[in-house]
Structure 1
Amino acid sequence: MSNIASLQPLGTLLAALLTIMVLSYLLGDNVLFRLAVHIFVGMAAGYAGSIAVHNVLIPRLITPVMTNGLAAFNSLLIVPWLLVLMLSLKAWRSTAGPGSLPVALMVGVGASLVVGGAVTGTLVPQTIAAMDSLDPRAVTPLTGETGLERMLNVVVLLAGTISTLVYFQFTARRDATGQATRSRLATWVAYVGRLFIALTFGVMYAGGLAAAMAVLAERVQFLLSLVYSFFGG
């Protein structure tokens, strides 16, 4: 315990050094900033690799073989081992071909999980929430909105939802000249949806910028407190 406590000042100095290296980017791209970025990326990759080894490879592939020997190689274990061996062939250019199969499998499974998660975790809940927000009996006890205020919120919600969906509708009819054009109403509704999208991205950017400024202020305060602790007593 005492050894860990003795390393705490060293960790504080390293944190201050990395903070200064990252903030040096304010003066332009330089070696210190690139070194800090490489350190962060390397540590993140190493941490992800260690998690994969200790939480996936060892308990699911190595431990069964070490425990049960060759009897552990059933159909549920042979396929993962085969995919791992094929993926390891990507390390050499001459044998990289077979490794494309497990990469394609991982990308396909990952994409399907992302799409499924977006539908079941975002699209469907937001649709249900939008439908519930139109029911005054469900919303008024939660927000206290009544009368004109509630009506305006419902109108804005419906206008934003419908216009945004119309903006992402890329089907159109062909006119007499053979060109695919939208109707004037659909064009104006899509323009309103574009405004809602721009407003949403602006709010998201402002939120991200505010969070970044909060982190910057915290790091500057950390450096000032460290300097004061060393030189101010």
Structure 2
Amino acid sequence: MDLSGIDLIGTIIAALLTVMVLSYLIGDNPLFRLSTYLFTGIAAGYAGTIAWHNILKPSLVDPLLAEGLPGILDGSLFSGVQGIWIIGAWVLIAMLLLKLSPSASRWGSLPMVILVGVGAGVVVGGAITGTLIPQSLSAVYSLNPSAVSTQTGETGIERMVNVTIMLVGTTCSLLYFQFTTRKSPTGIGSRPWILEHLATVGRVFIAITFGTMYAGALSATLIVLSERMDFLVKLIAEFLSAL
């Protein structure tokens, strides 16, 4: 471990932050809260810097600087589709800043709605194209043993078993979220018994999925913890050897 110059300062800061985060093991304390504030502030500052350099500055500021004051005054900058986008963006920014004033905060609701709507659209679109559609395609693979891809290394029987598990898991998991019931003479809604049993199978698949996700998150956390502990041990050994 090189402990010279700027690397020494960075290593000491990393060690202090690691100890501050690990101090949560003895309970909530000011050191842990300070570390979370630092990480949150750094993350927010990094995100803001990326947004400024990659989106705001090239799209809103650079066109104004390129045209200069004459181009802004004669209106040539604001002609066409690009001009409409620039004007609309600056208007939304100005409305968003009105959120700082309690008396005018209601005018800042429109840009907030647009931000939330666009964000939700991106998230939902990513979930559909990245998860739902691939999962649906995985559930309609052919059960024909001869349809095995040479890249998977499966045998014909393994192919049939894997595709069957995928099909049953997807179908039963979707049926678990089917809450339409038929009203009984007693006034209590109940699903047909076959749907109830299939939903139970879906519940098992969902439980396995959540368990796998939790195990993955836990193992990743343990890997990070072991790496940080190894870092501290090596750092202490380096300092002791230098004495």
Residue of structure 2 in register with 1:11 after alignment: 10
- State the TM-score, normalized to the length of structure 1: 0.91
- Tell me by how many angstroms 1:129 deviates: 2.7
Deviations for 1:29-79, whole angstroms, at most 9, x for unmatched residues? Answer: 111111000000000011111112222221111111121131323222111
After superposition, the C-alpha distances for 1:115-172 in whole angstroms (9 at most, x for unaligned) are 1222122211222233236353443523333354444333322221111010011112
Residues 133 and 25 of structure 1, relative CA distance in 2, 3 Å threshold: farther
CA distance in 2, matches of 1:225, 1:22: 18
Q: Which residue matches 2:100?
A: 91
- The aligned counterpart of 1:80 is 89
1:57 counterpart = 2:56: yes
Give the match for residue 120 of structure 1: 129
Please provide the CA RMSD for this pair: 1.7
Counterpart residue identity of residue 186, structure 1: L
Q: Distance in 2 between matches of 1:228 and 1:114?
A: 46
Q: Letter of the aligned partner of 2:191 in structure 1? A: R
Partner letter of residue 12 of structure 2?
Answer: L
Rounded to whole Å, the distance in 2 between the matches of 1:167 and 1:177 is: 23
Q: Deviations over 1:149-197 (max 9, x none)?
A: 4443333222211110100111121122333210111111101111110
Question: Within 5 Å, which residues of 2 pair with 1:1-233?
Answer: 6-68=5-67, 69-70=71-72, 71-73=76-78, 74-132=83-141, 134-233=143-242
1:131 aligns to what SS in structure 2?
coil
Deviation at 1:104? 0.2
| TM-score between both structures, scaled by the size of structure 2 | 0.88
Query: Following the alignment from structure 1 to structure 2, what is the Cα–Cα distance between the partners of residues 134 and 119?
Result: 25
CA distance in 1, matches of 2:57, 2:151: 49
Give the letter aligned to residue 168 of structure 2: A
1-side partners of 2:156 and 2:227: how far apart? 43
1:89 Cα deviation after fit: 1.0
Contact 2:145/2:160, CA 8 A, preserved across alignment = no
* More moved, 154-163 vs 99-108: 154-163
> Aligned pair in 2 of structure 1 residues 222, 169: CA closer, same or farther (>3 Å)?
same
Alpha-carbon offset, residue 200 of structure 1: 0.7
Question: Over residues 61-105 of structure 1, what are the superposed CA-to-partner deviations in whole Å (9 max), with x where a residue is unaligned?
Answer: 111112113132322211111001001111222221111100001
Give yes or no for contact 1:160–1:196 (8 Å, CA) kept in 2.
yes
Which gives a bigger RCO, structure 1 or 2 (Cα 8 Å, sep 6+)? 2
Q: Which runs of 5+ in 1 are unaligned?
A: none
Per the alignment, do residues 163 and 66 of structure 1 end up closer, same or farther by CA in structure 2, a change over 3 Å counting?
A: same
Moved more, 194-203 or 56-65: 56-65
| Percent of paired sites with the same residue | 52
